Amino acid sequence: MTAQALSRLFAEGWSVDRPVAVTDGGTISFARFRADVAGNAARVRRAGGRRGLLVTQDAYWGAVGLFALLHAGAEAILPPNAQPGTIAGLAGAWDLLLCDQPRTGDGNALVLEPGGEGAAPGPLDPAAPVTVFTSGSTGEAKRIAKTLALLEREAATLDRVLGAMVPAGATVHGTVAHQHVYGLAFRLCWPLASGRVIAGPAHELWEGALSALAAGDALVTSPAHLSRMDGIGRINLERRPSLVLSAGAPLAEAAAEHAAALFGVPVTEIFGSTETGAIALRHRSTPDPVWQPLPGVAVEADGAGLMRVRSPFVAGDGLFEGADRIALAEGGGFRLLGRADRIVKIEGKRVSLAEVEARLRALPEVADAVAVSLPGEPPRLAAVVVPSGVGAARLAEVGAFRFGRQLRRALAATQEPAGLPRHWRFLDALPSGPLGKRRHADIASLFEDTASMEQSSQRPTEPDVRATRPLPDGVELDLFLPASLAQLEGHFPGMPIVPGVAQIDWAARLAARHLGAGDGVARSFQVKFRRVTVPDATVTLTLRHVVARRRLTFEYRSADEVLTSGSIALEGP
């Protein structure tokens, strides 16, 4: 099947009844997609928007907004994230904000709606402008101008290399946002061009992603997610995907092996950048395979060993000179040797150390700051801060741990979770060399004491047991879930959620402790997540020991509402 040109999607396109997306529990046909684009394009014209900032949580509505803007003759602008501070920082770059949910305080906003009156969309100018952003070395978000033609060329190339792996009509699910170039290309543009189905919501939790999969579907994910699959069992045949994609940073070998065992298919990694789009791929069927450039993409090393890319997905002359150090391999492939600038990869996301520092210095509690990426698997973001007078007083009042958490919360207004430091040092002055130049080694050495560096080791790993009530076949516990739980680190800043694996672990441990049931380890289990469990709340955990079957049942409740329930097979006494 030949991929459709995105610029002619509504001129040639798919049959009217072909599924385009699944969202809100329903299937969206191509006819409905066309009507939604036409109606919202008319709304954009009436609003007089010429530069539309597109911020949607659902990938289907992201597709509607993108094509509505282009059909209205407007520039489509995708911000790097939807944090309020980021939107405010782009205030001069747009005159109309398109979203799929009502927003407050964002000025001229238009909520995308189903259908409406509007002329049938026709062919688009391939030169129609699409603007995205990436982290710049100066600390400010860097504007990258693209066109629809660049996006459609990339989508067609992706289908050449991936199309044979994924059945026609399969659904493309994701745990990553479509606001980024990776998600935009693989969750939105490629499915539209190839006739596959867009899964609208991005899944923040594995429980939701795995329950949505059907045999043959594709999954667009990242190292940050694939490295957090402990406690998840092998995927059943009826839910096994045909393709698992990962991008953002090289996937650790242990995580690649674990994911392949669970999904039954090796992870396919994508290497690229916001400026270039996808550059190369590799299938993790063997340890550390060489990256192979995509068709039409040429990769070479300059005199300093830095990557030089010639690609049909790059604007202008197609040449991009990056800061990735590479070693060329036989057959046109290459190996990555790390970054040569101050852009680092944290949890698969590009993070500008300069931007993190600038955002910290803008806080009233901070006089000066420097950010550093600490080595390890995975790498960790750390910051050394010189507190201001206000900050020093606050540090003395609440202590280093709580002060660091307060700075993280303040940064969350403009930074995604990957850009929030996990480790902190507070000094009277920043270390520097003889000539006043700050050296990475001097900063990193402040974190060499791993016992003090790992703040999570000082944080509670279990909830507080506030009350216990015996039952004929078990026990009932009232648990307080403090926000300082180590399991909440990165899960998720701005909207903390208690991980499902933590709830299973606590059930097994508390059953061993209070009932003498099992050995505190959940080796196999069944679980159903009915509602999200949040910290700073009291929940009731009911544990029942079915002795004859060596099985433990558990249920977390908030008042009369069941949050999580399941059962654990016990191997101990």
The CATH number given to whatever domain includes residue 376 is 3.30.300.30
Asked whether residue 320 is domain-assigned, the answer is no
Question: Residue 436 has what pLDDT?
Answer: 40
Which two tokens mark 215? 């045999």
| Predicted pLDDT of residue 434 | 38
What pLDDT was estimated at residue 233? 85
* DSSP assignments along 296-329, one per residue: T-EEEE-TTSEEEEE-TTSSTTSEEEEEEEEEE-
Residue 227 has pLDDT above 90, yes or no: no
Ranges of H-type helices in 73-231: 84-89, 148-162, 181-183, 190-194, 206-212, 223-226
Which residues are paired to 369 by β-bridges? 385
Q: How high is the mean pLDDT of the chain? A: 88
Asked if 502 and 400 sit in the same domain, the reply is no
Asked whether residue 370 falls in the same domain as residue 509, the answer is no
What band does 455 get if pLDDT is binned at 50, 70 and 90?
A: very low
pLDDT for res 135: 59
Residue partners of 78: CB distance under 8 A and separation at least 6: 54, 130, 131, 132, 133, 179, 184
* The dihedral sign for the CA sequence 520, 521, 523, 529: positive
Range in 140-144, 247-251, 322-326 the model is least confident about? 140-144
Residue 323, pLDDT > 90, answer no
* All residues at 6 or more sequence positions from 571 whose CB lies less than 8 Å from its CB, including other chains: 518, 519, 521, 523, 550
- Least confident window among 19-28, 235-244, 437-446, 504-513: 437-446
Last residue of a domain, one of 97, 120, 146: 146
537 and 422: one domain? no
**Does 488 lie in the same domain as 360?**
no
Query: Mean pLDDT across the stretch 145-163?
Result: 97
- d(C-alpha 507, C-alpha 165), whole Å: 40
How far out from the chain centre does Cα 423 lie?
21
Residues 127 and 34 in one domain: yes
Measure the CA–CA gap between 98 and 107, rounded to whole angstroms. Answer: 11
In a domain, 163, yes or no: no
- CA gap 275, 307 in Å, rounded: 13
Looking at residue 88, which CATH number applies to its domain?
A: 3.40.50.980
362 plus 431 within the same structural domain: yes
Q: For residues 16 and 332, what is the distance between their CA atoms, to the nearest angstrom? A: 42
Confidence class for position 517, pLDDT limits 50, 70, 90: confident
Q: 288 in a domain, yes or no?
A: no
Give the pLDDT mean for 496-516.
87
Q: In the chain, how many domains are there?
A: 3
- DSSP codes of every residue in 382-435: EEEEEE-HHHHHHHHHH-HHHHHHHHHHHHTTTS-GGGS-SEEEE-SS----TT
Q: How many CA atoms lie within 13 Å of 504's alpha carbon, on the beta-carbon side? A: 21
Choice between 448 and 331, residue whose per-residue pLDDT is larger: 331
User: 124-147 pLDDT, tens per residue?
Assistant: 999 999 999 885 544 466 889 999
Is 109 in contact with 103 (CB distance < 8 Å)?
A: yes
Nearest to 78 by CA among 127, 150, 145, 126: 145
Q: Flag whether 32 is in a domain.
A: yes
> Which of 360-374, 425-439, 483-497 is least confident?
425-439
Given 146, 169, 188, the domain boundary residue is: 146
If you average pLDDT over each of 74-88, 381-395, 491-505, which comes out highest? 381-395
In a domain, 104, yes or no: yes
Can you give the pLDDT at residue 516? 79
Do 127 and 18 lie in a common domain?
A: yes
- On whether both 40 and 132 belong to a single domain, the answer is yes
pLDDT(512) > 50: yes
- CATH (domain of 521): 3.10.129.10
User: Are the beta carbons of 541 and 563 closer than 8 angstroms?
Assistant: no
Residue 453 has pLDDT above 60, yes or no: no
369 within some domain: yes
Say yes or no: 388 and 482 in one domain: no
What is the pLDDT averaged over residues 426-452? 65
Tell whether 471 and 503 lie within a shared domain: yes
The pLDDT score that the predictor gives to residue 433 is 47
Domain final position from 107, 124, 146: 146
* Cβ pair 544, 528 in contact under 8 A: no
pLDDT of residue 519: 66
354 and 432 belong to one structural domain: yes
pLDDT value at residue 6: 96
Whether 246 maps to a domain, the answer reads: no
Tell which wins on pLDDT, 261 or 91: 261
For residue 504, give its domain range.
Answer: 464-569
Q: Are residues 348 and 443 in the same domain?
A: yes
Does the pLDDT at position 168 exceed 80? Answer: yes
pLDDT of amino acid 438: 60
Q: Is position 209 within any domain?
A: no
Range with the lowest mean pLDDT among 34-48, 58-72, 86-100, 137-151?
A: 137-151
So what's the pLDDT on residue 291? 97
